[in-house]
Homo-oligomer: A and B are copies of this chain.
Amino acid sequence: MKLGDLSEAQLVSHFRESFPRGDRTIIGIGDDCAQVAAPEGSFIVTTDVMVEDQHFHLSWSTGYEVGARVAAQNLADIDAMGGRPSALVASVVAPRDMDADVFLDVVRGLGDRAREAGAGVVGGDLSAGEKLVISITAFGYCPGPVVRRDGARPGDVIAVSGTLGYSYAGLDLLEGGHVDPSARGVEQLGELAPFVDTYRAPSPPLGSGVAAAAVGAQAMMDLSDGPATDAARIAKASGVVIEFDRPAIEQEAWRLQTPARICQADPVWWVLQGGEEHGMIAAFPPDVALPEGFRAIGRARSCESGEDPCAMFDGEVLRGAWDHFQADSVD
List residues of chain A with CB under 8 Å of any chain B CB: 3-4, 6-9, 11, 26-27, 30-39, 41-51, 54-55, 77-78, 80-81, 83, 87, 89-93, 96, 122-131, 133, 135, 137, 139-140, 146, 148-150, 220-222, 237, 323-327, 329
Contacts and interface: CB of A to CB of B under 8 A. Distances in A.
A48 B125 contact: yes
For the complex formed by this chain, how many copies does it contain in all?
Answer: 2
Given A32-B222, A36-B43, 5 more contacts: A7-B323, A11-B325, A32-B81, A33-B80, A128-B329
Given A34-B46, A323-B7, A324-B8, A27 B148 contact: yes
A7 B91 contact: no
B146 A47 contact: no
Contacts of A324: 8, 126-128
Contact of A3 (B6, B27, B44, B325): B325
Given A43-B38, A149-B32, A48 B325 contact: no
A208 to B, nearest CB: 14
A32 B325 CA distance: 20
Contact of A91 (B49, B126, B139): B49
A42 to B, nearest CB: 5
A221 to B, nearest CB: 6
A59 to B, nearest CB: 17
Contacts of A135: 47, 49, 91, 125, 133, 135
Find the residue from A8, A131, A324 having the highest chain B CB count within 10 A: A324
Contacts of A9: 323
Find the residue from A32, A93, A140, A325 having the highest chain B CB count within 10 A: A32
Q: Which 7 A-B pairs have the closest CB atoms?
A: A135-B135, A49-B91, A137-B137, A33-B44, A32-B80, A91-B135, A38-B38
Given A4-B326, A124-B47, A222-B32, A41 B42 contact: no
A7 B128 contact: no
A5 to B, nearest CB: 9
Given A4-B326, A38-B43, A89 B131 contact: no
Contact of A137 (B3, B47, B51, B81): B47
A270 to B, nearest CB: 22
Contact of A51 (B36, B54, B128, B149): B128
Contact of A54 (B27, B38, B83, B127): B127
Nearest to A8: B323
Contacts of A123: 45-47
Contact of A37 (B41, B49, B146): B41
Given A133-B93, A135-B135, A325-B8, A122 B51 contact: no
